[in-house]
Amino acid sequence: MTRAHEPCAMCARFTTKGHDQQAAHGLGWCVGYEVYVRADSPPTVLFKPAPRGQIGERQAYLAQHQGKQQVSETEAV
């Protein structure tokens, strides 16, 4: 099953714990690649669905940072 529609933040390998400064900017640590990635980045072949108990929290994080990106883009115009 392909999960091309789910962003990195919905992957079990994406974490913001211990990375507060980066998380404030919509980034998380990818445990699989050991790099910082945007929460809304497209998934890679390492994508593994996050535990069901974390889905709501991750969706809220995505929504929070998507809104900030839209405001930033509007202000730049």
Q: Which two tokens stand for residue 28?
A: 């998380």
pTM over 0.85: no
What pLDDT digit, counting tens, does each position of 20-77 carry? 999 999 999 999 999 999 999 999 999 999 999 999 999 999 999 986 654 444 444 4
Domain ranges across the chain: 8-76
Q: Which two tokens stand for residue 37?
A: 């990635």
The CA distances from residue 59 to 15, 35, 54, 77, in Å, are 13, 21, 9, 27
What pLDDT digit, counting tens, does each position of 47-60 carry? 999 999 999 999 99
Q: How far apart are CA 26 and CA 46, in angstroms?
A: 20
DSSP 6: S
- What's residue 41's pLDDT? 94
What pLDDT digit, counting tens, does each position of 5-20 carry? 799 999 999 999 999 9
